[in-house]
Chain A
Amino acid sequence: QQPAQFTNPETPGYVGFANLPNQVHRKSVKKGFEFTLMVVGESGLGKSTLINSLFLTDLYPERIIPGAADKIERTVQIEASTVEIEERGVKLRLTVVDTPGYGDAINCRDCFKTIISYIDEQFERYLHDESGLNRRHIVDNRVHCCFYFISPFGHGLKPLDVEFMKAIHNKVNIVPVIAKADTLSLKERERLKKRILDEIEEHGIKIYHLPDAESDEDEDFKEQTRLLKASIPFCVVGSNQLIEAKGKKVRGRLYPWGVVEVENPEHNDFLKLRTMLITHMQDLQEVTQDLHYENFRSERLKRGSRKIEDEEVNKDQILLEKEAELRRMQEMIARMQAQMQMQMQSGEGDNSAAHGHHV
């Protein structure tokens, strides 16, 4: 695409709106971006390590890991931490929502309630703000993306994984992730990925789909998108430790049998996951706004109005019933009056009351 030729505004036929994307871009950069990422998975699957690796920071500096006995009584908590990351003048306000306690209990039946309530609450709040009078500074705390961690030790999805994803796939963009991928050989990884994709399809779970590259994008980008799509679910390894490997310092994990490099695409999909998240942050937000939020909003408003309609219907019914009863009573009274009239006319002496009409 040609750069906007705004240096010569006098060119005949030139309006100048081709400059709009640049203006939008500049405004966005000034405003900064907000992104909320939810992280869900059993304890010990490598979630915190991965988040720290993705954003090259330590989001959990004072972390205490509870023992098993403590976990017995614990319910699922929601913990949100926000960091402001700035890179080349672009500000990102990133909120990571953790869900400690998920999948740990012996009975996980109520595992998702807290999480689903949280997601709905953010939608509710946004809906409320959007419908309010002052809409200048709406804060968007809606969950734009959910990384769901699948255990690398299993043979595929667990019953809990299936149930949870089905419960939230209409509320949030799900990106399935397999962390601690260094526990799997390449063949095992392929097998596990395929098994998971098959099970996702089998159960009708809707995960986030990367949009296809536009036809006018360059070949590299198209190829990159193709590769990304083919690698889902991503098998990643996280680490912020610097290890010496092949003469240079890389982020990785040191084993007696070798070094696993986080940023080596032959070792794991970490770079792919990071690329996907960064290049599709905008799309993740859009899908949240246009699909999940709109779903929530229409459900919510329908539910709200349906309640009122139901009550009106009931009122009408009650009115009709009351009117019918009134008519019946009036008819009865008319009959009684008529009878009394006849008796009074037929016999003075009779005590008509003694006939004891049952009303």
Chain B
Amino acid sequence: PHAGPAESKNEAAMSELVPETRQKPVVPMKPTGINASLLGYIGIDTIIEQMRKKTMKTGFDFNIMVVGQSGLGKSTLVNTLFKSQVSRKSSGWNREEKIPKTVEIKAIGHVIEEGGVKMKLTVIDTPGFGDQINNENCWEPIEKYINEQYEKFLKEEVNIARKKRIPDTRVHCCLYFISPTGHSLRPLDLEFMKHLSKVVNIIPVIAKADTMTLEEKTEFKQRVRKELEVNGIEFYPQKEFDEDLEDKTENDKIRQESMPFAVVGSDKEYQVNGKRVLGRKTPWGIIEVENLNHCEFALLRDFVIRTHLQDLKEVTHNIHYETYRAKRLNDNGGLPPMAVETEENHESNL
């Protein structure tokens, strides 16, 4: 059927607002101008310290979502990442729980503090994903949830009397758990990542990696990387958002060698060589979670928490959220959503 004139006009307008390649992240431009030589110390560099103090006082939000079939160790991994009992399974979860018949979205918030810095961490779990006999479109509730958080933020943003600090419930990072079959990705993995990599930062991880020998792991990672590339799936860190050469080199190495991270999680400690380590005890040895010779958990942790945490938030805000906002404004004829009724209607269209 031939599209009517109104629809094609919208499409044309859309393509103007949201170009094929997404815009570069909005970052403060590096100051240009004459490099004045300083006659003495001014103290401009103290701004770093001022920013740090501010961040410490206000703390920050971080929302991480975990997606994957039941039993791949999602909850354990999240607990291991944040060295605390922060997953859904730690707040009154019954081990005998049955697989839900549809995909559920369960968000649990915790405040964790380290070195004077407070983080409000929200872990969003998606039990039921990929567990049914018919898993068609099982990613839709997840996509809906992510878009709902963008909508919430948008509504706050367009308010006349805005809050000083808008509560950020947007998903900054989505860990997608790949089953360690040793063969290839599953059709469901491809479908999920194809759909969701456009709305959220996806970090694929290979779960329960202690099931593969070193050779099997290397081969599997290579095959998965190739499949992701062939199918055009842009996982985080996305190539198009590398800001400068420094970023590109660093991220290229991560994209082409380390990812997807083959991880093992554990919240139990054992004594190994006189030290207490997190690990898994088996009749043939103890698997140390933070030992890079055993698995890549430490790489994942450093990547998500120690080096790219802020970037994950920025890409979510500057790219994914902006894309959503642009589409919403365009759908609304270029106007921000205002009246309560219209907003309700729009939400149901999501």
| Interface of chain A, main secondary structure | loop
Q: Which residues of A contact B290 (CB under 8 A)?
A: none
Q: Which residues of A contact B (CB under 8 A)?
A: 42-45, 65-69, 71-72, 104-109, 111, 151-155, 158-160, 163, 180, 182-183, 185-186, 195, 253-261, 266-267
Among B135, B214, B227, point to the contact of A67 (Cβ < 8 A).
Answer: B227
CB closest chain-A residue, reference B293: A256
Question: Which of A180, A254, A267 contacts B211 (CB under 8 A)?
Answer: A180
Minimum Cβ distance to chain A for residue B295 (Å): 9
Q: Would A65 and B211 count as touching, CB distance under 8 A?
A: no
Contact of A44 among B99, B136, B179, B285 (CB under 8 A): B179
- Nearest residue (CB) in B for A258 is B285
Shortest Cβ distance from A260 into chain B, in angstroms? 5
| Chain B residues within an 8 Å CB radius of A153 | 69, 71-73, 179-180, 207-208
Interface residues of B in 275-293 (CB under 8 A from A): 280-288, 293
Nearest residue, chain A, Cβ from B68: A153
Residues of A within 8 A of B190 (CB): 68-69, 72
Q: Are B281's CB and A182's CB within 8 A? A: no
Cα distance A266–B284 in the bound complex, in angstroms: 9
Can you list 28 A-B pairs, Cβ within 8 angstroms, ordered by A?
A42-B181, A43-B181, A44-B181, A65-B184, A67-B227, A68-B184, A68-B189, A68-B190, A69-B190, A71-B186, A71-B187, A72-B187, A106-B136, A111-B133, A151-B71, A153-B179, A154-B69, A158-B131, A160-B133, A182-B211, A185-B280, A255-B210, A256-B293, A256-B294, A257-B285, A257-B286, A258-B282, A267-B283
Per the bound structure, the CA–CA distance linking A155 and B73 in Å amounts to: 10
**Residue in B closest to A260 when the chains form the complex, CB atoms:** B284
Chain B residues contacting A45 (CB-CB under 8 Å) are 181
Q: Are A267 and B284 in contact (CB under 8 A)?
A: yes
Q: Is B230 an interface residue (CB 8 A)?
A: yes
B336 near A: Cβ within 8 Å?
no
- List B contacts of A109 (CB < 8 A): 133-134
The answer on a CB contact under 8 Å between B227 and A255 is no
Determine which residue in B134, B189, B230, B281 has the highest number of CB atoms from chain A within 10 A of its CB, and name it: B134
Measured CB to CB, the nearest residue on chain B to A255 is B213
A106 to B187, CA, bound (A): 6
What are the residues of chain A within 8 A of B189 when measuring CB–CB? Answer: 68
Closest Cβ of chain A to B263, distance in Å, is 13
Contact code string B166-201 (vs A, CB < 8 Å = 1, else 0): 000000000000011111111111110000000000
Pairwise interchain contact A182-B282, C-beta atoms closer than 8 A:
yes
Number of interface residues of B (CB under 8 A): 48
Return the chain A residue nearest B220 by Cβ.
Answer: A44
Residues of B within 8 A of A (CB): 69-73, 95-96, 99, 131-136, 179-191, 207-208, 210-211, 213-214, 223, 227, 230-231, 280-288, 293-294
Q: Which of A69, A163, A255 contacts B133 (CB 8 A)?
A: A163
Known A153-B207, A259-B284; 15 more pairs at CB < 8 Å: A44-B183, A67-B230, A68-B184, A68-B185, A69-B190, A107-B134, A153-B69, A154-B69, A158-B99, A182-B210, A182-B284, A183-B210, A185-B280, A256-B293, A257-B288
A232 to B300, CA, bound (A): 37
Please report the C-alpha to C-alpha distance between residue A260 and residue B288 in the assembled complex, in whole angstroms: 16
Contacting A69 at CB < 8 Å: which of B223, B227, B281?
B227
CA distance A296 to B213 in the complex (A): 45
How near does chain B come to A239, taking the closest CB pair, in angstroms?
10
Do A186 and B283 touch across chains, with their CB atoms under 8 A apart?
Answer: yes
Chain A neighbourhood of B227, CB < 8 A: 67-69
Shortest Cβ-Cβ A-B pairs, 8 listed: A44-B181, A258-B285, A258-B284, A257-B285, A154-B71, A183-B211, A68-B185, A44-B183
Q: Cα distance A74–B213 when bound, in Å?
A: 29
**For B182, what are the chain A residues with a Cβ–Cβ distance below 8 Å?**
44
Of all chain B residues, the one with the shortest Cβ separation from A157 is: B99
B124 to chain A, nearest CB (A): 20
Return B159 CB to nearest CB of chain A, in Å. 41
| Complex CA–CA separation, A65 to B223 (angstroms) | 11
| A residues less than 8 Å from B288 (CB atoms) | 257
Question: Which residues of the other chain, B, contact A255 by a CB distance below 8 angstroms?
Answer: 210, 213-214, 284-285, 287
Given A66-B184, A185-B280, A257 and B136 touching (CB < 8 A)? no
Q: How distant is the Cα of A155 from the Cα of B181 in the complex, in angstroms? A: 17
